[in-house]
Amino acid sequence: MGCFVAPALLRSVLAAAFLAGAWAAVAPRAVAQPAQVAPAQAVEPLTIVTTSGEHRFQVEVARTDEQRARGLMFRRFMPEDRGMLFDFKTEQPVMMWMRNTYIPLDMIFIARDGRVINVAENTEPMSERTIASASPAFAVLEVNAGVSRKIGLKAGDRISHPLFRR
């Protein structure tokens, strides 16, 4: 997934991760398996506008602390036209990671007005290395690794979604 790790949430995220890891260590394998199935969540249309044109996606929107903390963790597959949009509600320094995320992702850091700030391409699955926004970000869009390069995405391009019209 690319889990959001804000300083205020870091302790609670680490505590929850520790408890989840402790549970996984003692739980029977059959019990742990359902957590790897993606929960059903509504998708919303989103368009990335680059010099190569408009690129349409269907995205889940992570609006709550819990949704942002889980992100795309434990998923084994995501269709190429799908993604997850993390709504941070205010512009702030954002740090993400790939803990418990099996799918390599491109992370697109986005300003309040929908402008792309920076892109972290082909993030390493299962890594706890932090991936930071180049400047305060309002949102992060995660798509499959390689999508950004394929559509020619770069800083300054635009993301069109109702989140950026408030």
Set out the domains of the chain in order of their start, with CATH numbers: 3-15+42-165 (2.60.120.1140)
The model's pLDDT over 50-106, given as tens digits with 9 standing for 90+, comes to: 999 999 999 999 999 999 999 999 999 999 999 999 999 999 999 999 999 999 999
**Model confidence at 166, in pLDDT bands (50, 70, 90)?**
low
Average pLDDT over residues 105-133: 98
Burial class (CB in 10 A: 0-12, 13-18, 19+), 100: buried
Site of tokens 């986005």: 110
